[in-house]
């Protein structure tokens, strides 16, 4: 009877919930449709490579850059599996950090795959921006979720979305340029949008490295990767680019991409690493210093309380002693 009514064991592993199941289903649908429609041409539509050539822009990276999708899908497959394990399934990083955002990420990515395959470029741009917003919200939620700060947590639960977020940041800039090309805007407009895109990508790299206490090295690294492959592509550009721009403009954009991706962003990473030696720029050291200060404050408060109690005891003892002496003197007089 007591056994039946006893409270459940607190150490019993948490059961899988709807979020864990949806994460697996979302991943499966995403990889199947992204590959099937965007690469294998299940619907008879042009694949992503053919459409990339058709809507070539000044900031389209070399095709080798897209190999990063293999890394993204492999790490997200690992996430989809390990978040089912008892150790991870109920953690804040999964339940609050990822939440339902990964489902939205996959939904918008599938939406982009279909709209781009059918060359509905404005709709594909809308899906891409919503995909980027969903990823950034997921990363924001993870940033403020309770963390055990282990390498396991980083590589299994956080890195899969950080690298995805970095690539979609670059892809969003590319999609804006694709929209401009699809509208057959003149060369001057295309060049302007390309330059602004490079500037925005650089600004985002500064933001993720210097404006948040715990830098997102992954996004900065992926942006550097994308910009480097833009430079490679412009060394032997698509015929559409050669027909639209003179060689000086092509080379200028190529050198700008190289400067930001291969020189400036790596230099920023080095500077940020150096700044980690200063407590102001290192959240771990700040937290340690705060913990020490709190500990010292608690110790000082305890010592003060002990001194106060000791004084009270001494005062009480002196008063009792005086009372006893008074009783003795009264007895002798009597």
For residue 258, the Cα-to-chain-centroid distance in whole angstroms is: 25
For residue 222, the Cα-to-chain-centroid distance in whole angstroms is: 12
Number of domains in the chain: 1
* Start-to-end CA span in the chain (Å): 71
* Length of the chain counted residue by residue: 334
109 CB-near residues (< 8 Å, 6+ apart) = 30, 34, 127, 131
226: part of which helix (H) or strand (E)?
A: helix 217-235
What is the rounded distance in angstroms from the CA atom of residue 82 to the CA atom of residue 292? 35
What is the rounded distance in angstroms from the CA atom of residue 296 to the CA atom of residue 256? 52
**Residue 302 placed within a domain:** no
Q: Could you tell me which of 110, 95, 224 has the C-alpha nearest to residue 163? A: 224
pTM: 0.84
For residue 248, the Cα-to-chain-centroid distance in whole angstroms is: 37
- The residue range of the domain holding 127 is 18-284
Q: ∠ at Cα 212 (206, 214), nearest 5°?
A: 110
**Residue 317 placed within a domain:** no
**Residue 270 placed within a domain:** yes
pLDDT along the chain (334 residues), means of 10: 41 85 98 96 95 97 97 98 97 98 98 98 98 98 96 97 98 98 97 98 98 96 98 97 97 98 98 93 65 50 61 55 52 45
**Residue 315 placed within a domain:** no
What is the rounded distance in angstroms from the CA atom of residue 172 to the CA atom of residue 178? 10
**Residue 57 placed within a domain:** yes
**Residue 316 placed within a domain:** no
What is the rounded distance in angstroms from the CA atom of residue 175 to the CA atom of residue 125? 6
**Residue 301 placed within a domain:** no
Q: Could you tell me which of 208, 93, 224 has the C-alpha nearest to residue 147? A: 93
Residue 22 confidence (pLDDT): 98
Residue 201 confidence (pLDDT): 98
**Residue 112 placed within a domain:** yes
Let me know if 55 is exposed, middle or buried by CB neighbors in 10 A (0-12, 13-18, 19+). Answer: buried
């Amino acid at each position: 009877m007591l056994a039946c009514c006893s409270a459940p064991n607190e150490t019993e592993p948490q059961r899988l919930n709807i979020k864990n199941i949806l994460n697996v289903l979302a991943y499966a649908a995403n990889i199947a449709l992204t590959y099937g429609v965007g690469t294998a041409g299940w619907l008879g539509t042009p694949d992503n490579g053919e459409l990339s050539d058709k809507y070539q822009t000044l900031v389209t990276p070399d095709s080798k850059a897209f190999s990063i999708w293999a890394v993204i899908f492999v790490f997200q497959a690992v996430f989809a599996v390990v978040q089912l394990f008892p150790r991870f399934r109920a953690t804040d990083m999964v339940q609050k950090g990822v939440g339902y955002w990964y489902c939205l990420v996959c939904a918008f990515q599938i939406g982009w795959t279909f709209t781009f395959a059918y060359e509905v470029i404005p709709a594909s741009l809308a899906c891409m921006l919503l995909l980027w917003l969903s990823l950034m919200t997921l990363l924001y939620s993870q940033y403020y979720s309770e963390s055990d700060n282990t390498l396991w947590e980083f590589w299994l639960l956080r890195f899969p979305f950080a690298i995805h977020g970095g690539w979609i940041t670059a892809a969003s800039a590319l999609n804006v340029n694709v929209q401009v090309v699809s509208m057959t805007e003149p060369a001057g407009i295309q060049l302007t949008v390309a330059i602004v895109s490079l500037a925005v990508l650089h600004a985002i790299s500064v933001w993720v490295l210097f404006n948040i206490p715990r830098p997102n090295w992954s996004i900065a690294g992926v942006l550097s990767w994308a910009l480097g492959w833009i430079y490679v592509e412009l060394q032997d550009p698509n015929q559409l680019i050669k027909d639209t721009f003179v060689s000086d403009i092509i080379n200028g954009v190529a050198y700008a991409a190289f400067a930001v991706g291969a020189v400036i962003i790596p230099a920023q990473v080095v500077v940020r690493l150096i700044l980690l030696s200063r407590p102001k720029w290192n959240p771990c050291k700040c937290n340690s210093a705060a913990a020490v200060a709190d500990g010292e404050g608690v110790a000082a408060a305890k010592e003060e309380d002990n001194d106060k109690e000791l004084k009270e005891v001494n005062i009480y003892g002196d008063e009792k002693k005086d009372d006893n002496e008074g009783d003795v003197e009264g007895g002798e007089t009597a």
